[in-house]
Amino acid sequence: MRLNLLPAVLLCSLLSLPGPAASQEITRNMPVPVLDLGRYAGQWYQVAHLPFFFQRKCVSDTTARYTLQEDGNIEVLNACTTAKGKRMEALGVAEPVPGNPGSLRVTFAPKWTTWLPMTWAPYWVLAVDPDYQWAVVGGPDRDHLWILAREPEMDAQLYARLVEQLGALGYPVDELVREAHTLGSP
């Protein structure tokens, strides 16, 4: 009796493929190949970031709220607390990059200037938790980086692992600024 081994080999191959935990590993400075914008939308807390001049006045409680729009774009509302205790907000828009689900381009410039290419910045989702509880955002030049979570605090071991992986990719993780959150979850 001759056995057909092909189905057994294929089954073993499928069983040995990495599961959802593999998406928690950041192995290259590229956008994730799959991003469900519906699940990505909502409130995120900034856990850590590389210093960026747009955030120079922010000292705590930095959040980003992403809201899907009917045209397929995403409204971006960034907010933070300044050193003077005031809440500061910036409203922008993000557009998906066609053919690259984890890549967006974002602008906070006035709408009448968005035809200019320099008003847009790359926004690469480098990693996202299978349950969309945390995400890492960067870009091609490694000059901006944000670690985001659905809750104000992130598990210390998870944070350390993400920082280690990002450092291996060439991000200047020694410059990361940890975020203080005093307002709590909504």
Q: What is the pLDDT of residue 109?
A: 77
Residue 60 is which amino acid? S
Q: What is the pLDDT of residues 7-28, one digit of tens each?
A: 232 223 223 233 333 346 788 8
Give the H or E element holding residue 121: strand 121-128
The predicted structure's pLDDT at residue 3: 37
Domains detected in the chain: 33-178 (2.40.128.20)
Report pTM. 0.82
* Per-residue model confidence as pLDDT tens digits over 35-77: 999 999 999 999 999 987 778 888 999 999 999 999 999 999 9
Q: Does residue 186 carry a pLDDT above 70?
A: no
